[in-house]
Structure 1
Amino acid sequence: MTEQMQRIVLARRPEGEPVAEDFRLEEAALPDPADGEVLVKVHYMSLDPYMRGRMDDAKSYATPVPVGGTMEGGAVGEVVASKSDAFAPGDYAFGMFGWASHGCLPARELRKLDPAHGPLTAALGVLGMPGFTGWFGLNEYGKPKNGETLVVAAATGPVGSMVGQLAKAQGLRVVGVAGSPEKCALATGRFGFDACLDHHAYADGKEMRAALAEACPDGIDIYFENVGGKVLEGVLPLLNVGGRIPVCGMISWYNAGALGADAGGAKDNLPKLWRTILVNRLHVHGFIIADHFDRYPEFLSEVGPKVASGEIGIQEDIAEGLENAPEAFMGMLKGRNFGKQIVKIA
């Protein structure tokens, strides 16, 4: 009998918020690696907001997941078979294995993991794509300077917490925005932010602006954009001349998907936005971290020791079982996770 693996596929394209029926758990034959390939048994997989965009058949920076295709995502696990000199059974690797119990990829597409850099899960969060995203976006486009003020939403996620901790270490006032009093306590406690606002406490962008103005008496120099929505509305009038906005994501609008921004409750604030960019001479820079992985070794050499020493704090939220990945994913999109969302497979 052929050995089996499990995977979660996209059963249909969601309309608005994903629901359980948009996913399907399947069994498939365990792949046999060809020359140059490596078979990995997945221990942990990552759940990230960008995956919501992959579920829509809409023009984007990456090809959408086909209906019936394995949901996309990064994962870490143990090599169980290898036809490459670069990996041996027992090694640990990161790769884009998707939502699955096993993955088989060419060795050139994998990254061997160094146990000295921390637990396996660190490669999915603080030392993986999210942490690298925060480090790169802050330094390359935020250009932080001692004494400035930075605001970052989704502050306790793996991107936001990295941004805030690095900025704080460089002498900035750091104000986070998060989705509960508990998350705000995490931001000001473990992550060392100066202040954190619970966005659920404010009805709209106007209320958000008033709270931010109190937390940022000298205005805002850097807004690391992760969420859009009322946080962006609140930040815009408070940006100082020469302010910088690295645009990483806009999770509050993701569930609008192919239906368009209006379905997500977004307002047409484009004229106000455009005028603010002009008048305040703002630097707004969208970036996709996949374009910049040549900088990953630099990030790892700088941040890896800080994680190992505890200088950079970590918070992970680990769900159990591949079959529970859709529920964890849907909860993450609504802010129910407490830290980096991971699913334990093996």
Structure 2
Amino acid sequence: MIRLRKGRVLNVIEKREGIEEVLVESEGTLQKAINYIPLSGEVSIGDEVILNTTAVFLNLGSGGYHFIIHNLRNSHLDIEEKGHIMKLRYTPFQIKCFSVEEKEDIRKIIENKPSLEGMPVVIIPLHSALAPVCAAIKCNQRNSKIAFIMTDGGALPIFFSKTVFLLKKLNLLDLTVTVGHAFGGDLEAVNLYTGLLAAKVSGCNVAIVGTGPGIVGTGTKYGNTGIILGEAVNAVNILKGKAIFIPRITIYEKRARHFLVSHHTLTALSEIALTKAIVVLSEEIDSVIKDLVMRKFLEYKLTDKHDIVFRKGRRAIDFLIECNFPLYSMGKNYEKEPYYFLTAASGGAFAAEIIK
């Protein structure tokens, strides 16, 4: 079910490509709301809007935002771009995109030569790992061209990600591809396979695969969208790429299922990934913690199935800190969960080594 309320726009707080953060008055209180321009057009102060207030009402992790469903002023919005592939299919918000499978130049190449030709693909556990990976790659390979392939396991509009916006602004990310029902990337693809191939065809020499902000979890073994990370390993290997997997390492996590090595990582690598990945850990992790992590890997027989390597990631973290880049994951910053970010950066450092 959906909870709807009327609201009135009082101020436009921030505007980025495809998205506006606004202040609205609704139910006698001031609330923050997100407006996706491709879905409901631009807003102006004084506009009356219809709000989806479900997430805030349920106190979910949407950042405390309502979402604008409709702007009563924008009664007519027209389609201007090419393409006929629909995302968010058979919902009131189904949106047309010009997918890579429809673009003749890309289509011919991915049909005739469907191979990543050994391109490294870094698979990240959470959206917050994207920045350390990008920074590590660029710090070690300045001429690299990085693609972020965003799956539909979290936020669907890529515009919601301030991380992507900041990375592109700092020239740490070159191309975005939104796959499945995710939308708003530089390129759109029907699935992960064509998304990966499109990144390669577009001149990228390294890719990162992960969800947008807001991964879904239910506290059960298979009931989470982190499960698709194992499927991503299979996809990369099927397309003859190099699958590099970053485990979710957290030592200050209160939830037992995510403490030390997240159960998302363990399930994805032990059961869902049917092919080999290179799993990267940080050399900078405390030796006691490192031993505990390796024991967990041995318990799940990950060392029999995958290659485990160690690299350093601190250089990339220092660079991001110098840039005042916000490093947060699940409400914790770098100081409160350093090994998580160091592990992510170490994965990027390893990827940089094998870029062709």
Verify same fold: TM over 0.5.
no
TM-score relative to the length of structure 2: 0.31
TM-score relative to the length of structure 1: 0.31
Structure whose residues are more often helix by fraction: 1
